[in-house]
Structure 1
Amino acid sequence: MSNSIEDDSFSKPVGRWSVYCYGVGHMLNDITSACWFTYLLLFLTEIGLSSRDAAIVMLSGQIADGLATIFFGELIDRFGHFKIWHGAGAILVAVSFSSVFGGCIPCKLLSSFSTIVETVSYSTFAAIFNVGWAATQVSHMSMVSCITLNSTSRVVLASCRNAFTMVANLSLYGIAFIVFEVIRAETRADIENQYRWIAYLSIFIGCCFVGVFHLGTKEPRSKTGIHGNIHARISWTYWFLKILYYQVAIVYMLTRLVLNVSQAYLAFYVIDDLQMAQSSKALVPAIIYICSFVVSILLQEIAWNEQRLKAYYTAGGILWIFCGTAIILLPQSMSLFVYAISIFIGIANALMTVTAVSMQNVLIGQDLNGCAFVCGSLSFLDKISCGLTLFVLQSFHSSSPIVAGNYSTSNFSITRYGLGLVPAFCSLVGVAVTWTMELRVPLYKPLTETLLE
């Protein structure tokens, strides 16, 4: 009888306040991640590192992140305590992130600004930052499946988190726009000062929302055993034997590649290829995330089933294919059209992200004692694939004669391929894999304003 009551409580829709408090819990990760992917490669090349060395710094962070997600996923499944892991990761992120963009501290201590020392220094802090980032990400993502069994509420939680991801990104680009306008970068010290202020303000805003999350979110009952099985843990082989696991893993990895690779090359594209003003490297991304925010809010009011998840993901993928084609072909003389393209990119990003994360929650279903492993292993694929993709692109980037400044003779730079071709191809494959899935999604009514816990 008690198990039946607990099943009913877990199947009820989650209240609005709980949704909002959960949604803001990833703000610190999101705002620092936006800075990481949008400005890290640009920052490192602007202060004098080669494209390959900048890619090494990025790759070191991504590898550390990928390995840490597996490690933390196993620990969280074994011991629980989501909020403790979340808080510890947030502290590590806040302490280390300013050093990633704050200048080469070991270089100052050793009085040596050699390329090797700089690369090792930035790579070390990048790895530390990403370890903390992974602890927060895995604990926050895996909480969704333990908060509720209601599939619509799970989508709403994912959608709310995605909406606040957009808020975090908009906050970053708002900060960056002001900093780039106020502080003029004429020397290396000026460049470091620009990004240092961006990092400090980002950390402050993110930490405020982490506090709201910890005050307003209860520790999920991951180990209470919804069906009375308190101590049972799910073996890794259980997931490896499920075809859906591999399908969801591929779709999630490709979706993250679309978002992260496009974000990494957007600033290069508007500044180098389109020769737009410096403020555009904050304004164009801001438009993308405004549109994503609006779409994420609208997606919260939909009752989800298998066909709708597939249809909305497909719509986002098709939009990205058209946007990628436009990015590759857009001439510098028509650079203002990038603002129109950014609107559709924002819509596509939201459609693909919300539905991909929801597919992950469908995979987990009621197998809550393995949810952290699923989130961790999928994130591992995301981080490693993204790091390797950016490393390969940057390797060609450094040897490309187009990047050296000859934009007038050809539209097809490595930047255009990174921002246009890679996301479009990943979207196409993701859509194809999505329609091979069998998603058993119980249909619940959409949320209404009267829902309370």
Structure 2
Amino acid sequence: MTRSRRGDESPLGRCSVLYYGVGHMLNDITSACWFTYLLVFLTDIGLPPRDAAIVMLAGQVADGFTTVFAGELIDRYGRFKVWHGAGSVLVAVSFSSVFGGCLPCKILGSYSSSMRTVSYSFFAAVFNIGWAATQVSHMSMVNCITLNSTSRVVLASCRNAFTMIANLSVYAVAFVVFNINTKGSVIDVENQYRWIAYSSILIGCCFVVIFHLGTAEPRLKREAREKGHARISWTYWFNKLLYYQVAIVYVLTRLVTNVSQAFLAFYTINDLQMTQSSKALVPAVIYICSFIVSVLLQEITWNRNRVKAFYSCGGLLWMISGAGILFLPISMNYFMYVLSIVIGVANALIMVSGVSMQSFLVGDDLNGCAFVYGSLSFMDKILCGLALSVLESYQSSTEEVRNCHRPNFSFSVTRFGLGLVPAICALIGVLVTLTMKLPEPALMPLMEPLLA
């Protein structure tokens, strides 16, 4: 059981950090599959790119509104683990329906484009509702497990490390599936992604069980109410300049990672004409590097200057990577593996430091922390959904040349989506980060180093 169930300022032990870190594994595994393969899957089974964009947007909108709703209720009543467990069940049940074929189409005997779009949009929305409930409850727990700011950063770093493990699990399964079950008919495509989805759910659910057995329900909210501490109103956060700065940086960080992840498979196959297995190998290289960096970041004693410095370094690396992606010719497609290393390091730096900024923002104001995480996640989901939908809708203009001979180099929507958009977002994120005035945390290390 976690030692810091009172939410005091004592540093956390290794087991407490690890038990918390695995709590988002099911979300992370399904998210990796969602952003990397959903658009590819839908277009491979014959859904027009604009309809695929509608499915993606439906899920993101449902996710965004659920984060605000869940955040408000968690701030009022607590019960982190109840929300986490209920959301996990919803994710596990609905995710297989997203990649498992169009069930309503089979029941009604209609496989029209409209019927498939409605069906996939419905299950995408249900999946994202469960995903959002799990995410908000898990992220909000950080500030109630411990009041130690350094330990909060370590928890965020540990969660990011397990995010990398989750993604690697997906890509390992995908690599095997893509090599064993070659793509042919629509049925073959559905079978490929059905195996990936079922494997993801099985792995993720095992870690959900570990999280619930090893982590105690934080008592801080109940104790705060018993002492007469009122729940913090929304206007309290809206009057803080730091709230808007952190919101901008967090949303831009998510745009960088999610948009790049969604277009990575398209880029390797259509623009660089790499093998089918590269849809798993290239992302795997990215997440191996991210995992290594995330583990190393857990050993650092954090302060406000280091958070800003690491985010700036990650943003700079993404700008360099974006330029490389934008101008990389097909004849040098092997260089994509080098860029993958740089992207992996950059992703770890901006994600760990970007998420940690939320803990600096919340500080000791724990009775409103779920609103902070929920509102920021709402903006992230809506803007990511809109960005992906707009970019994907323009893919139709290049549909007729996807399977034809491509020149050694040509600009495409995919290149802009993977290279230019993340690079611009990273640049703006760095500029905003440099203007922040983060509070200085009490510097207290982990009780037990994770690499000991």
Of 348, 354, 359 in structure 2, the residue corresponding to residue 356 of structure 1 is 354
Quote the Cα distance in structure 2 between the aligned partners of 1:343 and 1:29.
24
Q: 1:399 Cα shift?
A: 1.8
Quote the Cα distance in structure 1 between the aligned partners of 2:112 and 2:156.
44
Say if 1:374 and 1:275 are closer, same or farther in 2 by CA, change over 3 A: same
Quote the Cα distance in structure 2 between the aligned partners of 1:444 and 1:165.
26
Q: CA contact under 8 A between 1:27 and 1:168: conserved in structure 2?
A: yes
Aligned to 1:217: 215
Aligned to 1:246: 244
Trace 1:148-159 onto structure 2 (pairs within 5 A).
148-159=146-157
Aligned to 1:427: 426
Q: 1:226 Cα shift?
A: 5.5
Q: Which amino acid aligns with 1:150?
A: N
Of 238, 258, 270 in structure 2, the residue corresponding to residue 260 of structure 1 is 258
Moved more, 396-405 or 109-118: 396-405
Aligned to 1:378: 376
TM normalised by structure 2 equals: 0.96
Q: Deviations over 1:279-309 (max 9, x none)?
A: 0000000000000000000001111111101
Q: Deviations over 1:392-434 (max 9, x none)?
A: 1012221247864463164211100000001000000000000
Trace 1:24-423 onto structure 2 (pairs within 5 A).
24-225=22-223, 229-400=227-398, 404=402, 405=404, 407-408=406-407, 410-423=409-422
Quote the Cα distance in structure 2 between the aligned partners of 1:36 and 1:229.
43
Say if 1:374 and 1:9 are closer, same or farther in 2 by CA, change over 3 A: closer
Say if 1:229 and 1:432 are closer, same or farther in 2 by CA, change over 3 A: farther
Q: Which amino acid aligns with 1:89?
A: G
- The answer for unaligned runs of 5 or more in structure 2 is none
TM normalised by structure 1 equals: 0.96
Say if 1:406 and 1:428 are closer, same or farther in 2 by CA, change over 3 A: farther
- The answer for unaligned runs of 5 or more in structure 1 is 1-5
Q: CA contact under 8 A between 2:174 and 2:280: conserved in structure 1?
A: yes
Say if 1:7 and 1:123 are closer, same or farther in 2 by CA, change over 3 A: closer
Question: After TM superposition, which residue ranges in structure 1, 4 or more long, deviate above 4 angstroms?
Answer: 6-9, 225-228
Quote the Cα distance in structure 2 between the aligned partners of 1:296 and 1:251.
19
Q: 1:227 Cα shift?
A: 9.9
Q: CA contact under 8 A between 1:304 and 1:443: conserved in structure 2?
A: no
Quote the Cα distance in structure 1 between the aligned partners of 2:267 and 2:33.
16
Q: CA contact under 8 A between 1:145 and 1:361: conserved in structure 2?
A: yes
Q: What SS does structure 2 have at the residue aligned with 1:317?
A: helix
Percent identity, please: 68
Say if 1:401 and 1:30 are closer, same or farther in 2 by CA, change over 3 A: closer
Quote the Cα distance in structure 2 between the aligned partners of 1:42 and 1:347.
25
Quote the Cα distance in structure 1 between the aligned partners of 2:198 and 2:6.
45
Q: 1:442 Cα shift?
A: 1.6
Q: What SS does structure 2 have at the residue aligned with 1:335?
A: helix
Q: CA RMSD in A?
A: 1.7
Give the total of aligned pairs: 446
Q: Deviations over 1:77-130 (max 9, x none)?
A: 011010000000000000000000000001111111000000000000000000
Q: 1:275 Cα shift?
A: 0.4
Q: What SS does structure 1 have at the residue aligned with 2:47?
A: coil
Q: CA contact under 8 A between 1:403 and 1:414: conserved in structure 2?
A: no
